[in-house]
Amino acid sequence: MTTLSSAKVTSALLPVLFMTVLGLSVMFVAGHAQSATLHDAAHDIRHATGFPCH
C-alpha cells in the first residue's frame, strides 16, 4: 500500500513540478517582468493584485 502510493506520488511529481514552473513563469511575465512594454500593458492589474509595480 505504502509502496503503491509512493510510486503514485513519484509519477505525479514531474507533471506537478512542470505545471508549477509554468505557473510561476506566467506570473513572472504578467506580474513582475520590468520590460517597459509589459509594465505599461499590465500596469493596472499589477497594482490591483498587489504585485510590486514601480
Partner 1 sequence: MFQRMLASALFAGGVAGLLAALLHFAFVQDLILLGEKYETGELTHFAAPAQDGHDHAPAPTAGADAGAAPDDGHADDGHSHGTGSDLTRNGLTVLFTVLVYVSYAMLLAAGFGLAESMGRRIDLKVGVLWGISGFAAFQLAPAMGLAPELPGSIAADLGDRQVWWWGTALATATALGLLCYGRSLLTAGLAVVLLAAPHVIGAPLPEGYWGQAPTEVGTLYSARTLGTGLAVWAALGGALAWFWTRGKAA
Where does this chain bind partner 1 (CB under 8 A)? 5, 8-9, 11-13, 15-20, 22-24, 26-27, 29-32, 34, 36, 39-54
Minimum gap (Å) between residue 26 Cβ and partner 1: 4
Minimum gap (Å) between residue 1 Cβ and partner 1: 10
For the chain, how are helix, strand and coil distributed in percent, rounded to 5?
Answer: 80, 0, 20
Q: Which grid coordinates are listed for 52?
A: 510590486
Minimum gap (Å) between residue 7 Cβ and partner 1: 10
